[in-house]
Chain A
């Protein structure tokens, strides 16, 4: 500040303009944040589900946090296929063990990691898991991406077995369970 023409009044101008700019930016925030999930939306946290009616090979879709969730009772062949897949074949490498708490029960967020469609239960794709009807992503019997545009495996939600036939989706798993939620979107 060696300029003799700089006055105390200039400082006031800059300070008041600066304070106004900061104030305007702060006032903007509520108008941006109002679009984020509201408290009642955030409250839809946990869903309890009874596994007993599901037979081996069956896939059931339930709703959790407004998202569809697949509960699949895998057959021994499906478990074997998932466990024996070499890591080198995977786009998003993850062992089957890291994706299930009990090998028989595969629980996944049923949202394709490409653009959010629900992969089809009827069309199982080239790897016996799921085929997404929108843009043709193939998932295997562990819900891992094998072919197509999706970048990630189907996400595993947090869940906890309350008993052999009851599962609580959205609850943090007890120690030694599957990897916690990976919301790939």
Chain B
């Protein structure tokens, strides 16, 4: 929703002087304090704030690590070990940064799936959604570049496999990969440019985040009911209501984060990355970081190189079409009895694809908790990949047309009061 005229009043001579020259306090007051926000946001809506914190955590810990890290093929691995053993609190800062990447992705996936469930991508928030996809792709690139830097076995072979995606491009593929590497294989020149770009991209992300928030502040927040804000009764000022709610959620999220940093710092990583890179031997089982696993399963499900790479990028690109593929008049899955179930089926499919992405690359039968299932892993990955695309390209447009949604409430305020009335009646 459009925010009304600014209500900021400078309180002293200095702020009055500044306000007529650079109204930055007014800007911050309008956007971060007074901003009218739907009064019914639940905790799934706190991940935006959590993501801002994680971006700051990654940038600060990363800048500090760059003071000790050496981006050279003969020194990188040892410089990381020196950070772990000799640099004061180096172990802590590196574990914050490596686990921080994972938690950044946990938060971004929950943030994206929240948007899927409540229809936050639908008009008038398409540009907001598209900018979110850009941020996600930048995060994927940054995470990949960063994972290369320790120059362990997984770093090296992960970099090799990912850069080879570009060799699938017809005719110019080989020239492009050699240009990316600066050599005939992943090499010291590759490591140095990856370090440079890994330092750069987080600031690009920060820039796109600003655009993302700008695009959020034009239509205003979506909400669990998915209905538009009708008037002042539907909203509360961002501060103190959501600064407090977001603050509490951030604290709980950081508590989980701290558990991994302090008590299980290598759980989300791979032991093979503590073996220095060896260009002559690929580890027997290479897996990407967990946040790429569903996409990795999509890639491996296709027995053709170029088509596999296209399909993998397509799995993300299909999100960009979603605002126009979803034909439903209703945003929130709260009022969509069929789509709500299909949403959870999609979550299950993505989870299983992630599970399959972590398995060895043969087409033996799937062994799940010690039980051999009578279906090959490859076939299973193909079925789930096909379903994934069907969900977006066929099921979503069809269900939007065929489904009869439940009636949506008249306004946020009425729905909140009705719920409160029911609760007090029940307790009476």
Contacts and interface: CB of A to CB of B under 8 A. Distances in A.
Asked if chains A and B come from one complex, the reply is yes
Interface of A: 32, 35-38, 41, 61-63, 65-68, 110-111, 113-120, 123, 132-136, 148-151, 183-185
Given A114-B305, A134-B286, A66 B184 contact: yes
B187 A117 contact: no
A145 to B, nearest CB: 10
A148 B360 CA distance: 14
Contacts of A118: 280-282
B160 A35 contact: no
25 contacts: A32-B179, A35-B193, A36-B178, A36-B182, A37-B181, A37-B184, A37-B189, A41-B182, A41-B189, A61-B281, A62-B280, A65-B183, A65-B185, A66-B185, A67-B184, A67-B185, A110-B280, A115-B305, A117-B286, A133-B282, A133-B283, A134-B161, A135-B300, A135-B361, A185-B173
Given A117-B160, A135-B300, A35 B179 contact: yes
Given A35-B180, A115-B160, A151-B305, 7 more contacts: A37-B183, A38-B182, A63-B280, A67-B279, A116-B163, A118-B281, A185-B174
B202 interface: no
Contact of A117 (B161, B165, B177): B161
B308 interface: yes
Closest 8 CB pairs of A and B: A115-B164, A116-B164, A136-B361, A185-B167, A117-B282, A118-B282, A115-B161, A185-B174
B282 A149 contact: no
Interface of B: 157, 160-161, 163-165, 167, 173-174, 177-187, 189, 193, 279-286, 299-300, 302-306, 308, 360-363
Nearest to B177: A185
A149 B160 contact: no
Contacts of B180: 35
Per DSSP, are chain A's interface residues mostly helix, strand or loop, or mixed?
loop
A84 B189 CA distance: 43
A149 B302 CA distance: 7
B185 to A, nearest CB: 5
Contacts of A66: 183-185, 187, 279
A120 B157 CA distance: 14
A149 to B, nearest CB: 5
A114 B173 CA distance: 12
A151 B173 CA distance: 13
Given A35-B180, A36-B179, A134 B185 contact: no
A62 B280 CA distance: 7
Contact of B183 (A32, A41, A115, A135): A41
A137 to B, nearest CB: 9
A130 to B, nearest CB: 11
Contacts of A119: 282
A133 B285 contact: yes
Contacts of A116: 160-161, 163-164, 167, 185-186
Contact of A37 (B173, B182, B361): B182
A151 B187 CA distance: 24
A149 B300 contact: yes
Residue of A62, A63, A115, A149 most packed against chain B (CB within 10 A):
A115
A148 B184 CA distance: 24
A115 B178 CA distance: 13
Residue of A61, A118, A132, A134 most packed against chain B (CB within 10 A):
A134
Contacts of A120: 282, 284
A63 to B, nearest CB: 7
A136 B362 CA distance: 6
Residue of A32, A66, A116 most packed against chain B (CB within 10 A):
A116
A116 B276 CA distance: 18
A65 B284 CA distance: 23
Contacts of B302: 149
A35 B190 CA distance: 9
A143 B223 CA distance: 58
B165 A65 contact: no
Nearest to B300: A135
A133 B284 contact: yes
A41 B305 contact: no
Contacts of A134: 157, 161, 282, 286, 361
Nearest to A148: B303
Contacts of A151: 304-306
Nearest to A134: B286
Given A133-B284, A149-B308, A183-B174, A111 B185 contact: yes
A118 B161 CA distance: 10
Contacts of B361: 132-136
A64 to B, nearest CB: 9
Contact of B280 (A41, A68, A185): A68
A150 B184 contact: no
Contacts of B279: 63, 66-68
Contacts of B167: 115-116, 185
Contacts of B160: 115-117
Residue of B163, B167, B174 most packed against chain A (CB within 10 A):
B167
Nearest to A184: B174
Given A118-B280, A151-B304, A185 B182 contact: no
Contacts of A183: 174, 184
A60 B205 CA distance: 45
